[in-house]
Chain A
Amino acid sequence: MPGNVVRARVPITFSYKNRVGHALEQYINGLKEKKILGVKCPACKKVYVPPRTVCGKCHKPIDQMVEIGQEGVLKNFTTAHVTIANGEITDVQQPYIIGLIKLPGASSLISGIIKTSSVPEVKTGMKVKAVWKETTQGDYNDLAYFEPA
C-alpha cells in the first residue's frame, strides 16, 4: 500500500453568461421598480414566483405576468450558522435566517433572508414584509431581505 499519495492539482475554471430568459428578465426588471412579479398559468391558475415560461404540470406556456403582494407569512425557516460559497462551508459571526415566505397572490413560496433584531424572535406564521435596497439596479439583491411587518 502506498503511504503517500501524489495528487495532481486539476482546477477547473469556467465562466458562463447564461441568458436568464424572458420570464426572469421581467422579474429582474420588476425588482428594479421595487415590484415582485410572478406568472399565472392559464390552465391551473397557479402563480409561479420566480416566473418561468412553462407550467410543468399543465405543460402549457405561461406569459401572464402578475404583481405579487410584498407583505406575507413566514412558512418555514432555518437558522444558518454557515454560508456555502465556492464549495466551502464557512462559519459566520452572526447566525442568520433563511425563510420560505408565502406572499399574497403567489402559489410558490419565495426564499429570502429574514432580519429581526434577534434570532429567537423569528417564528413560523409571523408576518413579514419585503425590504428594498435604497437604490435598486435590476438584480436579485434589490430585494434585500424580509423583516417583521
Chain B
Amino acid sequence: MNERVAVVGYKQTKHTFDSPVARERMIYELVKSLFKDLGITRDDIDTFIFASNDFTDGRTISEVYTVPRIGSFMKDETKVEADGLNAALYAYMRILSGLYETALVIGFSMAGSEFRVPLTQAYTLDPVYERPRGIINFYSTAALQASAYMKKYKFTDEDLARLTVKNLQNANNNPYAARKEPTISVEDVLNSKPLYLPIRQAHVSAYADGACAVILSSKKAAKKFTDTPVWIDGVGHSMDTYYIGDRDLLGMEHLSAAAKKAYKMAGIKNPKKEIDFAELHTNFASEEPVFAEAMGLFKPGSGKDVVKNGDSGIGGALPVNPSGGPLGANPINATGLIRLAEASEQLRKEAGKNQVKGAKTAVVHAQDGPGAQLNTVFVVRR
C-alpha cells in the first residue's frame, strides 16, 4: 500500500470561447506537451482517468475515441462522469491501493462552442419532476441561493459586483483564462443583463473550450517526475439531495462535511488560520461567499466585510480564487481539476502576477449538479 500521493505534473490549455482545433488534437497536444515538460512517455503512466460527460461529448462511453490521444492505448483506463477533481480522487485512491504508482487525470469539454450548456445541465435534473416543470435549473437555483445569502446577510448587489470584478481582475492576469475584461467596472456588472435576479450575465462563469491534465504519483515514484511535489494531504466528498426545497442552500451541510473530512485527514484544526488560499469551483460569482463560509474559511455571513476589506483578494487574509476561478474559464469537466493545477502552481511559486506570497497550504474544491449538489474537497501542501 502507498501512504502519500503527490501532484507531480499538470498543464492546462489556454481556454477559449472558440477553439481553433478539434478536441482530439487539443487533448493530444496538451498531454504530449506535459510529457515533454517532465521528460516522460506514456510508459511512465500506470493508469489513466478521464473526466468527461456523455452529454457534453455527444456520444456514450465517450472516452473511446479520446483514448489514443492521451496515451492509454492497451493500458488501464477509465472515465468519471463528473468533474475532473472527482477523477483525481479516483486516481488518488488507485495509487493508495498500491496497485498503481502513477496516474494521469484529464478533464475537458468544448463548452464554449460546441453545445448549449443549459441543455446538458437540464439533462442532470430530475426527469419526472423538475424537467417537465421547467422552473428549477442551474441558473434559478443559483439565484435562489444568492438571494437567500444576500437577504440574510445584507450582502448587496454592489458587494456581489465588487466580488465579480475581483475575480475578473485575477482572470485578466491569468494566461490560461478565456474571459478577459480588463476594464470591467462595478457599474458594468450592476448594469449587465438580468437573468434570474440577483444573478446577471456578468456573474456567470465563462463556459469555455479547454482541458486540464494532472499527473499523480506515489511518494516512491514522485522523484522520477519532480523535485517539488505537491502533496494531497486530505480529501472529502459529499452529496446532497437533488430537491432544492429540501436543501439548506446557505449552510450547505454536505460541502461543510466534505471540507471537515479533508481538514481532519490533513490535521487542520483551524482552516481560517491554516489555509493560505482557496481555489473554489464557482459556476456563479455569488457562490463564492456561500462556499467559502460552508468550508469554514470565513465566518458565516461575513461576505460583506470580506469584500469591503479585500480579505479574499490576492494580498488579503485568505485569497479566494487568485486564478480568477471559473469566472475566467469554465471548461466543464476540467474546471475543478484546474483548481488543483492552479493551486499546485501557486504552491510551487509559479503563479506570476497572481502569486500568493508564502503560500504553503491550499484548499481546492469542485462541484457538480445544480447549486453544487455534489462537492469534492482536497487539501494540498508544498
Contacts and interface: CB of A to CB of B under 8 A. Distances in A.
A16 B127 contact: yes
B146 to A, nearest CB: 8
Given A83-B134, A100-B244, A108-B246, A77 B144 contact: yes
A80 interface: yes
Contacts of A12: 58
Given A2-B20, A84-B137, A98-B135, A124 B245 contact: no
A112 B134 CA distance: 10
Interface residues of A, number: 42
Contact of B195 (A7, A48, A82, A100): A82
A79 B197 contact: yes
A10 B58 contact: yes
A12 to B, nearest CB: 6
B153 interface: no
Size band of the interface chain B makes with A: 35 or more
Contacts of B241: 56
A79 B157 CA distance: 14
A140 B118 contact: no
A108 B245 contact: yes
B134 A111 contact: no
Contacts of B199: 78
Nearest to B250: A76
A82 B129 CA distance: 20
B196 A112 contact: no
A5 interface: yes
A109 B195 contact: no
Interface stretch (A59-67, A86-94, A130-138): A86-94
A78 B147 contact: yes
Interface string A16-42: 101111001000000000000000000
Interface string B120-133: 10100001110011
B148 interface: yes
Contacts of B135: 98, 111-113
A85 interface: yes
B351 interface: no
A18 B128 contact: yes
A98 B147 contact: no
Contacts of A20: 128-129
A84 B246 contact: no
A107 B122 CA distance: 26
Contacts of A56: 241
Contacts of A140: 129, 132-133
Contacts of B129: 20, 24, 50, 140
B10 interface: no
B189 to A, nearest CB: 16
A79 B243 contact: no
A48 B246 contact: yes
B151 interface: yes
Contacts of A7: 114
B195 A81 contact: yes
Contact of B128 (A21, A48, A84): A21
Contacts of B134: 83-85
A100 to B, nearest CB: 6
A128 interface: no
B20 A5 contact: yes
A1 interface: yes
B127 A111 contact: no
A49 interface: yes
Interface of A: 1-2, 5, 7, 10, 12, 16, 18-21, 24, 48-50, 56, 76-89, 95, 98, 100, 107-113, 124, 140
